[in-house]
Chains A and B, each alone.
Chain A
Amino acid sequence: MMNQSNLAFKNNHYEPEIGVDPRDGKLAFYYVVIAFSAFLLGILGGLLQGLSRGGMIELPSWLGYYQILTAHGVLLALVFTTYIIYGFLYAGMSRTHGAFSPRLRKTGWIGFILTSLGTGMATVMILANEASVLYTFYAPLQAHYIFYFGLVFFIVGTWVTGIPMLVHYFKWKKTHPGEPAPLFGFMTTATILLWIIAGLGVAATVIGQMIPWALGMTDEINVVLSRSLFWYFGHPLVYFWIMPAYMVWYLVVPKVIGGKLFSASLAKLAFVLFLLFSIPVGFHHQLMESGISVFWKYVQTILTFVVVVPSLLTAFSIFATFEQTGRE
Chain B
Amino acid sequence: MHLHKYEKIWMTFGIGSLVLFLAVLGVSAFAFGAQPPSHMHSVDSQNLEESVFSAPGVEQIDETTYRARLVAMAFGYDPGTIEVPVGSTVIFEITSSDVVHSFAIPGTNVNLMVTPGHVNMTEHTFTEPGEYLVLCNEYCGTGHQHMQMKIEVTP
Interface residues of A (CB under 8 A from B): 64, 66, 132, 134, 136, 138-141, 222-224, 227, 263, 265-266, 269, 286-294, 297-298, 301-302, 305-306, 308-309, 312-313, 315-316, 320
Contacts and interface: CB of A to CB of B under 8 A. Distances in A.
B10 A224 contact: no
A308 B21 CA distance: 12
Interface string B1-32: 11110110011001100100110011001100
Given A224-B118, A294-B36, A312-B10, A141 B111 contact: no
Contacts of B26: 298
A288 to B, nearest CB: 5
Interface in B83-133: 98-100, 102, 111-121
Contacts of A141: 99-100, 139-141
14 contacts: A66-B141, A66-B142, A134-B139, A141-B139, A141-B140, A266-B1, A286-B113, A289-B37, A289-B115, A290-B112, A292-B38, A293-B40, A294-B38, A312-B10
- Label chain A's interface by main secondary structure: helix
B135 to A, nearest CB: 14
B98 A290 contact: no
B54 interface: no
A190 B26 CA distance: 32
B35 interface: yes
A293 B29 CA distance: 12
B39 interface: yes
Contacts of B29: 294, 298
A301 B118 contact: no
Interface residues of B, number: 46
B14 to A, nearest CB: 4
B40 A288 contact: no
Nearest to A312: B14
Query: Which of B11, B29, B113 has the most chain A CB atoms inside 10 A of its CB?
Result: B113
Contacts of A302: 22
Contacts of A301: 22, 25
Interface string B36-74: 111111100000000000000000000000000000000
Given A227-B115, A289-B112, A297-B36, 5 more contacts: A132-B142, A140-B99, A289-B118, A294-B36, A298-B29
A266 B10 CA distance: 14
B150 interface: no
A288 B2 contact: no
A140 B38 contact: no
Interface of B: 1-4, 6-7, 10-11, 14-15, 18, 21-22, 25-26, 29-30, 35-42, 98-100, 102, 111-121, 138-142, 144
Contact of A288 (B4, B6, B36, B139): B36
A98 B123 CA distance: 62
A134 B26 CA distance: 34
A290 B121 contact: yes
A288 B142 contact: no
Nearest to A133: B139
A269 B142 CA distance: 46
A309 B42 CA distance: 37
A305 B26 CA distance: 13
Contacts of A265: 1-2
Contact of B15 (A64, A223, A266, A309): A309
A308 B14 contact: yes
Query: Which of A138, A287, A291, A298 has the most chain B CB atoms inside 10 A of its CB?
Result: A291
Contacts of B102: 288
A290 B37 contact: yes
- Listed from nearest, the 7 A-B pairs whose CB atoms lie closest are A290-B120, A312-B14, A290-B118, A289-B113, A290-B39, A305-B18, A291-B118
A293 B36 CA distance: 9
A137 to B, nearest CB: 10
A223 B18 contact: no
A223 B117 contact: yes
A289 B102 CA distance: 9
B112 A312 contact: no
A298 B25 CA distance: 9
A294 B35 contact: yes
B1 A269 contact: yes
A213 to B, nearest CB: 13
B76 to A, nearest CB: 17
A236 to B, nearest CB: 20
Contact of A223 (B22, B37, B115, B120): B115
